Amino acid sequence: MAIPTKPVSKAGVTPETNPKPKPKSKGSWWQAKEPQRQDNSAIIGERKTTPYVFSLPAILLVAGLLGFPVLWGVWQSLYRRPSLGADPDWVGLQNYADMFASDAFWESLKKTTIFVTGSLILALALGLFFSHALFKVVGRFRFLRAVMIGPYIVSNVAAAVMFRILFNAQFGTMNQALEWLPFVDSGPRWLADPTIAMVTVIFTQVWTDLPLVILLLLGGMMSIDQAHLDAALVDGASGWDRAIHITSPLLAPQILISVVWISYSTLTGLGVVLALTGGGPLKATQTTAMEMYTVAFRNLEFNQALAIASFILLLNGLLTLAYLRIGRKYNYDA
């Protein structure tokens, strides 16, 4: 947990009484979380079955509804129904071959790349900018943090409606503001123009994702050792210099985690695209996730769609690996 307002203090338990974290061990980074006491069953008088009974419902539910369906889905991507309602036939990797042979798939991959890259750039730029600004006033303006969380508690559909209104070509505030400028005749048709629709989608996606990025980066800034900044101050570094050359490099783990997290959320995110544009206009925002949804629930080719879903899962698995590596490298626990 990166924010100093840990719930621990609220429970009236002082940190001093906590079990001290295990000194550097050869275990993985996540194992550092475990209490170091060897007698883990030290609370006497327990039946051996208690922990199993306690944890079984959770394990069953997660295995049954998260683990199993995905494995089943990957397995089913090797089958195909000759016609709707017929029994599926084993086709091996044919669904994948068809997927890679399809123009729509490659086109969607291109769109996804733009979507992920654009969101990364915008989210990191805004995230660093806003978290630096918030950091300067830490302790004051507490309401700002509460306000800043706002987009996080809004559903994707609600965000889509809000941005559809904001970016409306005729009465949207965005175009009203643009047309107020002397050199702009009429603002772009944000959602109807295939070349610009993706920009609108990126804006909306980043708007919904930014609160967590800001909180993550802000938490990282709060934990930076002040001595580094003092030294730079003594050497005469300006505020901007310190932000660029000291704070940002020391934020590396949080920035990397943000990168992984935004990539994850845009690569696998369907809600914003579906609710805002539905992949249109002219498939301009048809990302791979959206392509999967179209193939499955509009064309009803479920097995073909499962091949696309498995492909996304594979990319997502790579992201998870990156996440774990970052966690291990910096001993960072997000």
Partner 1 sequence: MTDTLSQDEIPADRIAEEPLTAGERSRRKWRPTGSGRATQIFKNVLISIPLILLVIWTVGPFLVTLSVSLKDKVEVFADPSLIPANPSLDAYGDVVRSDSFTTSFWNSVFVGLGTTALTILISVPAAYAFARFRFRGRHLLLLFTLLPRLVPTIGMMIPIYRLAIATNMLDRRLTLIVVYTSMLLPLAVWLLVGFFQSIPRDIEEAANVDGASLWGRLRYIVVPLAAPAMITVGVLAFREAWNEFTLVLVLVNSPGNRTLPFELYKLQGVEGVADYPIEAAFTVLTILPFIIFYTFVEKHVVAGLVSGSGK
Nearest distance in Å: CB 135, partner 1: 7
Nearest distance in Å: CB 267, partner 1: 8
Pairwise CA distance, residues 135 & 137, whole Å? 5
**Residue 168 or 248 with smaller CB distance to partner 1:** 168
Give the pair of three-digit tokens for residue 122. 């915008």
Dihedral of alpha carbons 205, 207, 213, 215, sign: negative
**Residue 196 or 296 with smaller CB distance to partner 1:** 296
Pairwise CA distance, residues 251 & 326, whole Å? 12
Dihedral of alpha carbons 283, 285, 288, 291, sign: negative
Nearest distance in Å: CB 74, partner 1: 9
**Residue 72 or 106 with smaller CB distance to partner 1:** 72
**Residue 101 or 146 with smaller CB distance to partner 1:** 146
Q: What is the Cβ-side half-sphere exposure of residue 256, based on CA atoms within 13 angstroms?
A: 20
For residues 276 and 201, the answer to whether their CB atoms sit within 8 Å is yes
Nearest distance in Å: CB 11, partner 1: 5
Pairwise CA distance, residues 130 & 125, whole Å? 9
DSSP conformation class of 83: S
Nearest distance in Å: CB 159, partner 1: 7
Across the strands, what pairs with 79? 90
Cis peptide before 281 (omega within 30 of 0): yes
Give 161-200 as a DSSP string: HHHHHHT-TTT-HHHHHHHHSTT-SS---TTT-TTTHHHH
Give the pair of three-digit tokens for residue 322. 């990156």
**Residue 8 or 282 with smaller CB distance to partner 1:** 8
**Residue 53 or 181 with smaller CB distance to partner 1:** 53
**Residue 116 or 221 with smaller CB distance to partner 1:** 221
Nearest distance in Å: CB 133, partner 1: 3
**Residue 198 or 254 with smaller CB distance to partner 1:** 254
Nearest distance in Å: CB 114, partner 1: 18
Nearest distance in Å: CB 82, partner 1: 18
Give the pair of three-digit tokens for residue 218. 């802000």
Contacts of residue 246, Cβ cutoff 8 Å, sequence gap at least 6: 228, 229, 232, 237
Nearest distance in Å: CB 219, partner 1: 6
For residues 217 and 301, the answer to whether their CB atoms sit within 8 Å is no
Across the strands, what pairs with 245? none
Give the pair of three-digit tokens for residue 84. 């709707």
**Residue 61 or 97 with smaller CB distance to partner 1:** 61
The residue among 204, 122, 214 whose CA lies nearest residue 159 is 204
